[in-house]
Amino acid sequence: MSSSTNQKLSRRLRLNWVDSFLIGVRVAAVVFIAIGLVGTIINFANGEGPTAVAWRDLVVGGIAQGTMYGLIALGYSMVYGVLGFINFAHGEVFMGGAMTAFFMASYFVETGLWADSFVIALILVILSSMFASTVIAVLVERIAYRRLRNAPRLIPLITSIGVSFFLQYSAAFLFGISNKSFPQPPQGLLNKVDVFGLGWLLIEGTKLLVIVISVVSMAVLYFIVERTKTGRSMRAVAEDKEIAGLMGINVDRTIVTTFAVGGAMAGIAGSMWALLFRGVSFNTGFLPGIKAFTAAVLGGVGNIVGAMLGGLLLGLFEGVGPLLILDGWGIPGVSQLKDVVAFAALVLVLVFRPSGLLGERLSVEDRG
């Protein structure tokens, strides 16, 4: 009797040790951020560090980056919600869209459409990126993932790592390893636009375009998922595949649709990325892919609005965080630590709130 009480006590103590460690992490994080913020505010008051205008640009840049992360995160989130594994290859789906955008845009420059009618060219570029990404996503599902539907979760995850390698290096060898320069949009777009006529909210044209297109796409997706029949099937299959099948939903086709929709969003993100950063290469998808999944987790995986929100927040953290918090500590070379901030945000969210900000939505098989 006494040994089992001892066991219980010691287990409780041990759990408390882990818990106190985690509490310590939370406290340390809050203190660290607070001191950094104070330091930056003091700097700002003294006229050191970035100006107010610079801060505005940082925030805008972060939001633009964040909307793209959000679009990519949607694909990760939806696939995780339905099939329960991280689709590492999704970053390459995004890269495929960006590459297609590059090839189409270069073609349009050659034929003159880019200069003559930029709007039409841009629309065609976005559509072709969507198409390419969707095709890649659907093919990958068909070839690599379909047979693994019932396998232990580790297997499709590892398969997706293999697919990711394959796609990345195929692109490298087929198209060349050098960085591809996406053509410049017309000069008007590169200037700052006075939004809302306030005089201080000046946003660069391309960034504004990216934000608008991304937000519209996310809204369209939300509408599709919440209001249409296809969306309902997707949500049903995400909830419980077996029951959905019994209710007459074609589970296979719905899963393909999920991949396709996620792919299309990634394609849009790809063309936006190409437009904003004007550079694409075979490994363009790698790091954004990881960060986009981070964003999906941040917002609550399986949760569409969560993915969008997570993306936005991650973009902001990443863009503003280093200068906002780390600079206040006087750490040199702060922008190098951008990725550290992004991953630290992930760790902190998972420590503070493991199911993400808006709560996760997983299928019945994957819960618990």
Partner 1 sequence: MTNGILDVRKVIRAGLLAGLVMSFTSAIGMVEDFDRRMIIDGLFSLGFLALLWYVPIAGYKVGDEKVLEGMEIPPKSRKHVLAGVLVGLIGGVVLLALILITNAMDLRDVFIRLSPNLVALLTFSDNPADPNFGVGAIFLIGMPGLLGAVGGALHLVSPRLRRQIVVAPTAIIVSALVKDVIGQIMRTFGLDTVVRQLYRNGAVRLVPAIIGAAIAFYLAGRERRETSRIREFLTHPDPKVRTRNSLIVGAGSIVVVVAAPWVLGSLLSEILATTGIFLLMALGLNIVVGFAGLLDLGYVAFFAVGAYTSAVLTSPLSPFFSPEWPWWYTLPVVVVVGVFAGIMVGTPVIRLRGDYLAIVTLGFGEIVRITFLSDAASPWFGGAGGIRQIPGIPLGFDTISGSDPEYIFYFALALVLLAAWVSYALLNSRVGRAWTAMREDESVAEMMGIDTVRSKLSAFIVGAVLAALGGALFSAKLGSIFPTSFELLISIVILVVVIVGGLGSIVGVVVGALVLIGVLGGPRQPGLLQEFGEYKLLIYGVILVYMMLKRPEGLVPRVRRQRELHEDELTQDDWFEKKGELSELEGGA
Partner 2 sequence: MYTNGLSLAFQAAFEELGGTVSVFTAINKGDTDMTGVLTEIAAGSPDMLFTPAFPPEINFIAQQVRGISGMESVTLIGADASLVDNFLEIPEAEGWYHSGPDTRVGSNENSITGVTGDQFLEAYNSQYGEAPSAAFWAHSYDAATMLLQAIEDVAVDVDGTLYVDRQGVRDALNSITLDGIIGPIECDEFGDCGGKVITIILNSSPNDVEAAKMNVVFAYEQ
Binding mask 175-204 for partner 1 (x = CB under 8 A): xx----------------------------
- Count Cβ neighbours within 10 Å for each residue of 40-67 and write b for 16 or more, e otherwise: beebeeeeebbeeeebebbbbbbbbbbb
User: Does 42 engage in binding with partner 1 (CB under 8 A)?
Assistant: no
Alpha-carbon torsion (278, 284, 289, 291), positive or negative:
negative
Contacts of 134 (CB under 8 A, 6+ apart): 260, 263, 264, 267
Q: Report the residue from 148, 189, 215, 236 that binds partner 1 according to the rule CB under 8 A.
A: 148
Q: Measured from the CB of residue 342, what is the shortest distance to partner 1 in angstroms? A: 8
CA-to-CA distance for 72 and 131, rounded, in angstroms?
Answer: 15
User: Does 163 engage in binding with partner 1 (CB under 8 A)?
Assistant: yes
Question: Taking contact as CB under 8 A, which single stretch among the options 11-19, 124-132, 195-203, 214-222 is the one that binds partner 1?
Answer: 11-19
Question: Taking contact as CB under 8 A, which single stretch among the options 165-173, 198-206, 222-230, 232-240 is the one that binds partner 1?
Answer: 165-173
Nearer of residues 36 and 322 to partner 2, judged by Cβ: 322
Nearer of residues 204 and 360 to partner 2, judged by Cβ: 204
CA-to-CA distance for 75 and 167, rounded, in angstroms?
Answer: 17
User: Does 354 engage in binding with partner 1 (CB under 8 A)?
Assistant: yes
For the residues of 4-43, what is the DSSP string, one character each? HHHHHHHHHHHHHHHHHHHHHHHHHHHHHHHHHHHHHHHH
User: Does 58 engage in binding with partner 1 (CB under 8 A)?
Assistant: no
> Tokens standing for 202?
């000046």
Question: Which partner in partner 1, partner 2, none is near 53 (CB below 5 to 8 A by kind)?
Answer: partner 2
Nearer of residues 49 and 81 to partner 2, judged by Cβ: 49
Question: Which partner in partner 1, partner 2, none is near 184 (CB below 5 to 8 A by kind)?
Answer: partner 2
Burial of residue 315 (CB within 10 Å: 0-12, 13-18, 19+) is: buried
User: Does 174 engage in binding with partner 1 (CB under 8 A)?
Assistant: yes
Residue numbers at the binding site for partner 2 (CB under 8 A):
48-51, 53-54, 57-58, 61-62, 65, 176-179, 181, 184, 190, 192, 204, 273, 277-279, 281, 283-284, 286-287, 318-320, 322-323, 327, 332-336, 338-339
Strand boundaries in the chain, DSSP class E: 180-181, 192-194, 202-204, 279-280
Nearer of residues 123 and 158 to partner 1, judged by Cβ: 158
Query: Torsion-angle region of residue 202: left (phi > 0), alpha (psi -120 to 50) or beta?
Result: beta
Q: What does the DSSP 8-state code read for residue 186?
A: P
- Sole residue written with tokens 């503003």: 320
Footprint of partner 1 (CB under 8 A): 7, 11, 14-15, 18, 21-22, 25, 80, 84-86, 103, 106, 144, 147-148, 151-159, 161-170, 173-176, 290, 293-294, 297, 331-334, 336-337, 339-340, 343-344, 346-347, 350-351, 354, 368
